């Protein structure tokens, strides 16, 4: 990937939420560290899969990258420009470059609007700002074209979201994301709310669209089999930190971090003999509360390979070669 051009560079990004106060006068804020100083790059035309269990901060990463949440600290460089430092006017004009597909196809579409209006809305907003020159007819024609592109009939333009299934609604969400011809699409668990049979259709559609329009994806999921199917590289996240990142084949064939090993061991194998004989890694203990103040590795209490140093220091991502990075003292020389 080093020879490819970077589309977005995330550098030491933080997002802390104030969840309470402590101290004699309740003047000291308690911070929930949803995203805790993470760094990664996404290259043009690739799909970076972001995986981890619920509550680890995956969705917050995506929302903070495009400032749906304001970052606490860090940089997000998009084609050399820092999104974090942009004023609101510049950011709003820049938003057409990155769009989002949300997890819940039922909650992400306005039930009072027709799907034609839903898909047209981004174009209408940018037209009102003088940043898009399209007539009403051209916008309507574009909406019909987008419906066809995502596998729906153009004649559905005047129907409402409640008239569609979950899979069809997600196609509408994808059409809306494509409306402004973005360069980056953040897919926030776009198939987790869908039936398994529909999931593969949506994933295949995303791959076809990526090839057709040269799109770049950040694909968030907790289903490792889905991530393996669509991703070029995979980043594994635990409690606001990225613990491992590598090419999809490298990370599935040669996992290094104990948490990655545990996640991969939980994937069912469609071979009863192998399934019975393979070793499952059962993690003990509970996930730490992200607002707790503690030093050391956040995975320490659940790790089956922990050492004394893990309790005292937090490991950094180190390069293991072959574009494989891991955050673990097992590999520190």
Q: Which of 1-15, 118-132, 228-242 has the lowest mean pLDDT?
A: 1-15
User: What pLDDT, on the 0 to 100 scale, is given for residue 125?
Assistant: 93
Q: How many CB atoms are located within 10 Å of the residue 149 CB? A: 17
Q: Is 263 helix (H, G, I), strand (E, B) or coil?
A: helix
User: What pLDDT, on the 0 to 100 scale, is given for residue 292?
Assistant: 63
If you search the block for the tokens 């729906």, which residue do you land on?
152
Cα–Cα distance, 330 to 4 (Å, whole number): 30
Does residue 234 contact residue 46 with C-beta atoms inside 8 Å? no
- Region 203-223: mean pLDDT is 94
User: What pLDDT, on the 0 to 100 scale, is given for residue 50?
Assistant: 96
Look at the alpha carbons of 143, 148, 154, 159 in this order and tell me if their dihedral is positive or negative.
negative
The pair of structure tokens assigned to 314 is 């937090």
User: What pLDDT, on the 0 to 100 scale, is given for residue 275?
Assistant: 65
Q: Sheet harboring 233-238: ordered strands across? A: 98-101, 184-188, 216-221, 47-51, 233-238, 241-247, 325-326, 318-319
**pLDDT at residue 19 above 80?**
yes
Cα–Cα distance, 299 to 288 (Å, whole number): 8
Q: Is 74 helix (H, G, I), strand (E, B) or coil?
A: strand
The pair of structure tokens assigned to 49 is 């899969």
**pLDDT at residue 77 above 60?**
yes
Q: What is the DSSP letter of 158?
A: G
User: What pLDDT, on the 0 to 100 scale, is given for residue 196?
Assistant: 86
User: What pLDDT, on the 0 to 100 scale, is given for residue 333?
Assistant: 60
**pLDDT at residue 228 above 90?**
no
Cα–Cα distance, 202 to 150 (Å, whole number): 9
pLDDT band at residue 291, thresholds of 50, 70 and 90? Answer: low
The pair of structure tokens assigned to 121 is 């809305």
User: What pLDDT, on the 0 to 100 scale, is given for residue 318?
Assistant: 92
User: What pLDDT, on the 0 to 100 scale, is given for residue 320?
Assistant: 93
Which is more confidently placed, 3 or 70? Answer: 70
Cα–Cα distance, 100 to 200 (Å, whole number): 19
Write the burial class of residue 78 (CB in 10 Å: 0-12 exposed, 13-18 middle, 19+ buried): buried
CB within 8 Å of 257: residues ≥ 6 apart: 236, 243, 244, 326, 327, 328
pLDDT band at residue 278, thresholds of 50, 70 and 90? Answer: confident
pLDDT band at residue 266, thresholds of 50, 70 and 90? Answer: confident
User: What pLDDT, on the 0 to 100 scale, is given for residue 7?
Assistant: 95
Does residue 115 contact residue 161 with C-beta atoms inside 8 Å? yes
Q: Is 247 helix (H, G, I), strand (E, B) or coil?
A: strand
Which is more confidently placed, 300 or 141? Answer: 141
Beta-bridged to residue 43, according to DSSP, are 6
Q: Which of 45-49, 134-138, 168-172, 190-194 has the lowest mean pLDDT?
A: 190-194
Q: Supply the mean pLDDT for the chain.
A: 90
User: What pLDDT, on the 0 to 100 scale, is given for residue 260?
Assistant: 93
């Amino acid at each position: 990937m080093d020879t490819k051009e970077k589309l977005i560079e995330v550098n030491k990004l933080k997002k802390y939420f104030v969840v309470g106060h402590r101290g004699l006068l309740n003047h000291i804020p308690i911070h929930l560290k949803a995203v805790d100083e993470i760094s990664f790059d996404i290259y043009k035309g690739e799909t970076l899969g972001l995986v981890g269990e619920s509550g680890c901060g995956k969705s917050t990463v995506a929302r903070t990258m495009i400032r749906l949440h304001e970052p606490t600290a860090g940089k997000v460089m998009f084609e050399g420009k820092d999104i974090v430092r942009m004023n609101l006017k510049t950011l709003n004009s820049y938003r057409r470059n990155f769009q989002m597909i949300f997890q819940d196809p039922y909650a992400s579409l306005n039930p009072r609007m027709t799907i034609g209006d839903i898909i047209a809305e981004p174009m209408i907003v940018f037209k009102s700002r003088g940043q898009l020159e399209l007539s009403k007819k051209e916008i309507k024609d574009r909406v019909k074209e987008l419906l066809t592109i995502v596998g729906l009939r153009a004649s559905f333009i005047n129907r409402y979201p409640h008239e569609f299934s979950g899979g069809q609604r997600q196609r509408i969400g994808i059409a809306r994301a494509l409306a402004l011809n973005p360069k980056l699409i953040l897919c926030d668990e776009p198939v987790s709310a869908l039936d398994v049979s529909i999931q593969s259709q949506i994933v295949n559609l995303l791959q076809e669209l990526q090839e057709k329009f040269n799109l770049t994806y950040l694909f968030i999921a907790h289903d490792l089999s889905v991530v393996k199917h669509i991703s070029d590289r995979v980043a594994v996240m635990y409690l606001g930190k990225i613990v491992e990142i590598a090419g999809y084949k490298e990370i599935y064939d040669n996992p290094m971090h104990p948490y990655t090993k545990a996640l991969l061991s939980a994937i069912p194998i469609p071979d009863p003999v192998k399934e019975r004989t393979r070793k499952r890694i059962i993690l003990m203990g509970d996930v730490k509360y992200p607002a707790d103040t503690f030093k050391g590795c956040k995975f320490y209490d659940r790790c089956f390979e922990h050492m004394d140093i893990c309790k005292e220091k937090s490991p950094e991502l180190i390069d293991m070669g072959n574009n494989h990075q891991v955050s673990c003292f097992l590999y520190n020389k």
